[in-house]
Homo-oligomer: A and B are copies of this chain.
Amino acid sequence: MNSSVTRGRRPGTPDTRRQILDTARRRFLSNGYRATTVRGVAAEAGVDVALVSYYFGSKSGLFAASVTASANPAGTIARAVEGGLDGLPERVLGGVLALWDDPASGGPLVAMLGSIHDDPAVAERFREMLEHELLARVAMRLRGPDATLRAAAFCTQIAGIVVTRYVLRLRVVAAMSSDDVVRTFAPGLRATLLPSRPAATATRRS
């Protein structure tokens, strides 16, 4: 039995953890996901590489934590999905723009997206985040037998905005102001949330 409750003598301190995260975020941002190594981060932060593994498990774990340290994608999405369907497209668009337009969080997220083909764990993390944090939460708010499909279409449009604005950088989409983004994409998102079969709506309304 190790006396894990003994005070002191823990591997590192909250400050150490923060310092690793700051270093990691800076390196992911400037060098990209693939060129950043756990070993390099440890060296620059002046800690043993085993300490980084202890805290974060793996490179993708370190990455996720370093993004989350400056932004909270899951929290942002959860807040946006709260509060009724009426302004849902606008709230989610606002959250997406807040996360991705800010270089501190958007830069690492773009770097992370770029590594999807190199690191299956990263693809899995994005898929998980979209499925659990956005798709499932939106689906719970919709009525009708195809609620999951419509929630999936909603997520797909959000994913499309991220890809064309921040990764492919389609000129028209990358140049849009926040207002343009909301004005341009809200109608499509709203149409997606409605039941696709008018009969179902009519039944509920009559």
Residues on B with beta carbons closer than 8 Å to the beta carbon of A131 = 170-172
Residues on B with beta carbons closer than 8 Å to the beta carbon of A146 = 183-184
Whether B156 pairs with A164 at a CB distance below 8 angstroms is yes
* Contact string against B for A residues 121-137, beta-carbon threshold 8 Å, 1 for contact and 0 otherwise: 00100110011000100
Residues on B with beta carbons closer than 8 Å to the beta carbon of A127 = 168-171
* Contact string against B for A residues 151-188, beta-carbon threshold 8 Å, 1 for contact and 0 otherwise: 11101111111011101111111001000100111011
Interface residue total, chain A, C-beta cutoff 8 A: 48
Residues on B with beta carbons closer than 8 Å to the beta carbon of A164 = 130, 152, 155-156, 159
- Tell whether A32 is near chain B: CB-to-CB under 8 Å: yes
Q: Look across to chain B and name the residue whose beta carbon is closest to the beta carbon of A33.
A: B117
CB pairs A–B below 8 angstroms (15 shown): A32-B117, A114-B116, A127-B169, A127-B170, A131-B171, A135-B170, A149-B180, A149-B183, A152-B176, A153-B185, A155-B173, A156-B170, A163-B163, A184-B196, A188-B191
**Majority DSSP secondary structure for residues of A touching B:** helix
- Tell whether A88 is near chain B: CB-to-CB under 8 Å: no
Whether B153 pairs with A159 at a CB distance below 8 angstroms is no
- Tell whether A115 is near chain B: CB-to-CB under 8 Å: yes
| A183 CB contact (under 8 Å) in B114, B148, B180, B196 | B196
Whether A157 pairs with B155 at a CB distance below 8 angstroms is no
Whether A187 pairs with B180 at a CB distance below 8 angstroms is no
| A168 CB contact (under 8 Å) in B114, B123, B173, B176 | B123
Given the interface contacts A116-B167, A188-B189, A192-B187, does A172 sit within 8 Å of B159 by beta carbon? Answer: no
Minimal beta-carbon separation of A110 from chain B (angstroms): 9
| A184 CB contact (under 8 Å) in B123, B152, B187 | B152
